[in-house]
Amino acid sequence: MSSRVSAAESASVAPSVNESIESRVYSVAKVARDENDHHSVTILVSELPKRSLRDECKYRGWSTRFRELPPVHVTTVAALQETIDGIKLSPKRTILNIVASNEVSEISFHVPSHFERLKVLRCASKRDKGRLLIDGASTYHNVRLDKWEAHRHKNHTLILGFQRGVRIKLAGITPNTPWARIVRAREDFTSSEQDDLLSQFEKLSQNSEWEEIKGTVAAIMTLVVGTYKSVTGMKTELGGIDVKYAFGLSAAELGMAGAKITSVATAAGPAIVLGVVAAAAVYFIPWDVVFDYLKTGLSWLWDKICKLWERFKCWVQNLFTEAATENSHDYMHKPMAFMP
């Protein structure tokens, strides 16, 4: 995976009217320092000035507690794996904290089994609407993060800063994987469901605003999945969808549909423990992956919906591409109009 900070996001590193680089450095470094303790190793991932971050991350004072604490490792997105690989493992420190500042948009990593607990946190205010995407191919304890919930973990715990926008990004839905097994066969659709499905796709060809489209896509996904519980946590966003549970793993199959969120307090705000079934929409699926998934699941209907879906796909892609280019929130509410 190519991890990078987009031009629009990189611009956010520049001082703003309300927050200077100095204040951001202070806030991010404070979270890293506060999260660091005698039992952990802390890595701070940021595109902010390294020297300033390192200076601010230094512990000041002469107490024994501060002298015993290991330093915070300051690194960049590109050098994150190198930093992880360079950590000197200690039986006393079995927690790894990966703390990212809010201009970092995506990361990828492989964390060894030595660490019994992995925390991935994002430094951001409650009002911040951004997110930190973790490549689903990233591994912890030799398990891919997009398959973490398919296993039970006795000695390893994965904690994500969900409320501050940390998500696991699904890069693809391939055949013979848990994420693909929920596609319903043609014979599983009743005649009324087939009519409903066509009706929902026809709605996509009408002039609509984004808020209306979100509901239509959710309805289509519900029909394709075939079990409402699998998509109750789905949240449609401009760049893709957030989904609850493991999407491809049905709650009924695991027998844990009533699983509750296990919340953990951190210096970067509340986080959640990702277990066999997460009770929060921790998975992010980009639109292009959603398109491919639906095309596969509805191949038997594709000749009837192809043109409608392709037009909708182009509209969505243009929508979030131009919205990012223009950096305008108002663009999200422009109506969709298809050319005949």
Is the per-residue pLDDT at 132 higher than 70?
A: yes
Q: Which of these ranges, 67-81, 119-133, 173-187, 300-314, has the smallest mean pLDDT?
A: 173-187
Mean pLDDT of the chain: 75
- Return the minimum-mean-pLDDT range out of 17-21, 95-99, 327-331: 327-331
pLDDT of residue 336: 38
Phi, psi of 43 (to 5 degrees): -115, 130
Please give the DSSP secondary-structure letter assigned to residue 74: E
pTM of the model: 0.74
- Please determine, for residue 3, whether its predicted confidence score (pLDDT) is greater than 50: no
Residue whose pair of structure tokens reads 């946190």 in the numeric block: 121
Query: Parallel, antiparallel, or unpaired: how do β-strands 106-107 and 110-111 relate?
Result: unpaired
Bridge partners for 96 per DSSP: 41, 118
Which of the residue ranges 58-62, 78-82, 150-154 would you say has the lowest mean pLDDT? 58-62
pLDDT at 219 over 50: yes
224: closest CA among 276, 155, 298?
298
Q: What pLDDT band is residue 68 in, cutting at 50, 70 and 90?
A: low
